[in-house]
Amino acid sequence: MSMGTVAEGPGLSRERIVRSALAFIEERGLKELTMRELGGSLGVEAMSLYRYLPSREALLDAVVEHVVDDLYGDPGVLLTPRDGWQDFLVRLAHGVRRIARTYPQTFPLVASRPPAAPWVRPPLRSLRWIEAFLAALTGAGFSDRAAVDAYRAFSSFLLGHLLLEVAARGADIAVAGGEQALGPQAQAQVLASYPVLQRMSGLMAQDRADVEFEESLENLLDRLDRLVAVRA
């Protein structure tokens, strides 16, 4: 090999790099991901990666795109409604939730990367999915205004619930300088001053993610149903 040549390694491709970056984030966390570290995990020098992705930022964008595109391979998600718009949104919501639960360390990245346009809201940030969403609702009788409002409400619902859920599963969603959780002993000391909260701490700590997700999704669908009736 000549002095200026960088070995690429067997089978190196953009797809392999992105998949490896995703696995790296899930195993070691986003903060640990650098082109040098990723190259090392692939058995190549960092310069080899730049032939496929020009920067770490481009790599992160590619990871987000790859994760969101998982929806297309989800058999439970539909591109167009089959049994009404409510069924369409329920399937889509659960599909996004499956992504969050499969990639809990990466989901905050999906939620925080700069969008392709200022009106695009995560986590349903693929233009193709937004198109499918708006087409599904306007085809079901929503006005354009109501469909846009529905997209915003749906996005807010998913972000609020799923970021909390992945945080409970150990994902790092805190900004720099965020406070660390208190240990059990410190928690007991703090709760000693709050007898009602101390009494209910067991209930507060229960994992009700499944129930809360379903109840909130049902409430959202009821709200959208009223929305289309008023604004159509």
Q: Give, in order, the Cα–Cα distances in Å from 6 to each of 38, 43, 131, 140.
A: 15, 12, 42, 55
Question: Distance (Å, rounded) from C-alpha 190 to C-alpha 100?
Answer: 32
Q: How confident is the model at residue 5 (pLDDT cuts 50, 70, 90)?
A: very low
76-168+191-231 has the same fold as 14-68: no
Q: What pLDDT band is residue 178 in, cutting at 50, 70 and 90?
A: very low
Class of domain 76-168+191-231: mainly alpha
pTM over 0.95: no
pLDDT band at residue 177, thresholds of 50, 70 and 90?
A: very low
Tell me if 56 sits within 8 A of 18, measured CB to CB: no
Distances (CA, A) of 64 to 78, 164, 188, 189: 20, 19, 39, 41
Assess whether pLDDT exceeds 60 at residue 1: no
Per-domain boundaries in the chain: 14-68, 76-168+191-231
Q: Which amino acid is at 65?
A: E
Could you read off the pLDDT of 111-135 as tens digits, one per residue? 888 877 777 889 988 888 888 898 8
> What architecture does CATH give domain 14-68?
Orthogonal Bundle (1.10)
